[in-house]
Amino acid sequence: MKKIFATVAVSALLSGAAYAQNISIVDQGGFFNNQTTMQAGANLAMTGQYGLANGAFTGQNGSGNFSGTLQVGGWNGSVTTQAGHLNAAGTSQFGTGHYSNTNQVGVGNGSNTIQVDGVSPH
């Protein structure tokens, strides 16, 4: 399943940096995962959720914006909003109970968030 998501993601990126419409790709496995994408302009959003009760929202307004969200585990939440052009945001969450909120306004902004459950040294 992850290989399919990665292949689709790479294909979507390589197929046209200047896409003329909105594209939303979603892949979910598990139980009670929720995802919403709202787009206006010409943007690309990809979301993969695997596990239990993960939630994601992506809002894009403008052109050439890219958002990629990957959640593996349970009870993770992600909100990404982009207004403008050529912004890029990536969010990866592995484990339980993580939350991320990314907001980009303008041109050419970049963000990458990675959250992983910690391991206690004791």
Length of the chain (residues):
122
Cα 28–chain centre separation: 12
Digitized pLDDT (tens) for each residue of the chain, 122 residues in all: 555 555 445 455 544 555 579 999 999 999 999 999 999 999 999 999 999 999 999 999 999 999 999 999 999 999 999 999 999 999 999 999 999 999 999 999 999 999 999 765 55
Neighbouring CB atoms inside 10 A of 64's CB total 20
Which among 94, 95, 37, 93 is positioned nearest to 66, based on CA atoms?
A: 37
- pLDDT of 7 reads 47
